[in-house]
Homo-oligomer: A and B are copies of this chain.
Amino acid sequence: MSTTLKDALQYVRTHRNAHLDGLKTFLTFPSVSALSQHKKDVQKTAEFLADEMRRIGLEHIQIFPTDGHPIVYGDWLHAEGKPTALIYGHYDVQPVDPEALWESPPFQPEIRGGKLYARGASDDKGQVWMHLKALEAYLQTNGSLPINVKVLIEGEEEIGSPHLPPFVEQNAKRLQADLVVISDSTLLGPGQPAICYGLRGLAAMEITVKGAKSDLHSGLYGGVVQNPLQALAHILASFHDDEGRVAVPHFYDDVRPLAEEERQAWQTIAPEDHQWAEELGVPMLFGEKGYTPIERNWGRPTLEINGMGGGFQGEGIKTVLPNEARAKISCRLVPDQDPDRILDLIEAHIKNLNLPGVRVSCKRYDTGRPFLTPYDHPIIQAAKEAYEAAYGKEAVFIRMGGSIPIVEDFSRILGVPVALMGFGLPTENFHAPNEHFHLENYDKGIDTLLYYWDTLSRA
């Protein structure tokens, strides 16, 4: 272990209380990006963050205004010949309601049982702070960093990052790096570090089926006209075959097959089917034939009905023949599926059903592309070593079934690998009352980052 690393590791231990106090201050700002009454609070949080970045020794600090909330930037670029990491995070937080369910006020951070409770503790102020403290440790003990860093912290992640992709495109040169590091996700479970190298994309739409001018009496008109609910049921049922496979023609055309290596690796970390079924409360797991549940969730595309409705939904029975039915569907996509092409295929499939007696229309929602980064890239493999050094346990490479469109944006616009190095836990109530962060992972996470920068400098 290099003296530089040893000193940095020692520094974060010595200064732990002061660093936690700093984080608590960061957490007192109610930087709720979704609510206009907090606009000034969000601005003040950006200023606090910029000051902190300046204080720890980052340079070129800048607060970039957007049409929404500002982006905070700083860098340190004096490690000649060494790799450059772009660190991304966000300083905005989710709303806190229902506030009555919080055991301690969301913007008055409190430590209970080894956990720090506050809105943003885990998502994502706590994880942003860990990065700053790791950088501070090197800069304060050694006067320099083992690598070059660019730090970009935005204030609109919780509202879908509307201004970030254009900002990255317009500032692609300024942001150019060898990799992007994002700490805004979770470990696989307690004590089990994981590096996520794949996320699914998203394509969603609403389907509306219309029949007569108004609702009809099912006695007086039953048998005369097509029932829009019946027509919608036909559409929705046609989306899958009996074995759970999506039956929209050409849906799987662009799906990149899973590597045998991935399938084997996932098998070792997947929960047992019956345990998972029991945990979720279902009689059995179910999905596309030929794939395990974890493969279906991480590596295969899906089409889900998120909601549907029409006609009488109250108590008892009403013999109405409704004139309208709606469903919302969304697809989780994998490389190399294109969200717009998938929506085209679904619309064409619905049109081909040629349902008589009704009018069908589709409305598209925002899409996101699937993300996959080469996990065998040395820069990503180095992250694995860093986790193992800090946690004393082999880190696993995972994909996730969810979608974080901004990750794919970074990867595509900058053309570099993205390491998703999360330190939260799935149980930490982000987006819910009593959000918290396990301090064990706060500490081990800072160590992981210190190890990572050290490893990268010697790669």
Contact = CB atoms under 8 A, between A and B. Distances in A.
A294 B293 CA distance: 50
B356 A284 contact: yes
A226 B310 contact: no
A321 B234 CA distance: 20
Interface stretch (A82-90, A172-180, A209-217, A433-441): A209-217
Interface string A313-329: 10011111110011110
Contacts of A297: 220-224
A256 to B, nearest CB: 16
Copies of this chain in its oligomeric complex: 2
Contact of A332 (B211, B223, B403): B223
A310 B312 contact: no
Interface stretch (A94-102, A128-136, A275-283): A275-283
Nearest to A404: B219
A206 B288 CA distance: 29
A219 to B, nearest CB: 3
A237 interface: yes
B240 A230 contact: yes
Nearest to A204: B317
A227 B304 contact: yes
A187 to B, nearest CB: 15
Contacts of A222: 297, 302, 304, 332, 401
B330 A306 contact: no
Interface in A173-211: 200, 202, 204, 206, 211
Interface string A223-237: 111110110111011
Residue among A224, A237, A240, A318 with the highest chain B CB neighbour number at 10 A: A224
B281 A212 contact: yes
User: What are the 6 A-B residue pairs with the smallest beta carbon separation, nearest first?
Assistant: A219-B402, A223-B296, A286-B357, A307-B311, A213-B281, A237-B237
A159 to B, nearest CB: 13
A267 to B, nearest CB: 15
25 contacts: A204-B319, A206-B317, A213-B280, A213-B281, A216-B280, A217-B402, A219-B403, A220-B297, A223-B287, A223-B293, A223-B302, A223-B332, A224-B293, A224-B294, A225-B277, A225-B280, A229-B305, A230-B237, A237-B238, A283-B358, A284-B356, A286-B357, A306-B320, A306-B321, A308-B309
Given A286-B356, A287-B224, A302-B223, A218 B332 contact: yes
A167 interface: no
A359 B226 contact: no
Residue among A282, A297, A322, A328 with the highest chain B CB neighbour number at 10 A: A282
A353 to B, nearest CB: 9
Residue among A219, A280, A322 with the highest chain B CB neighbour number at 10 A: A219
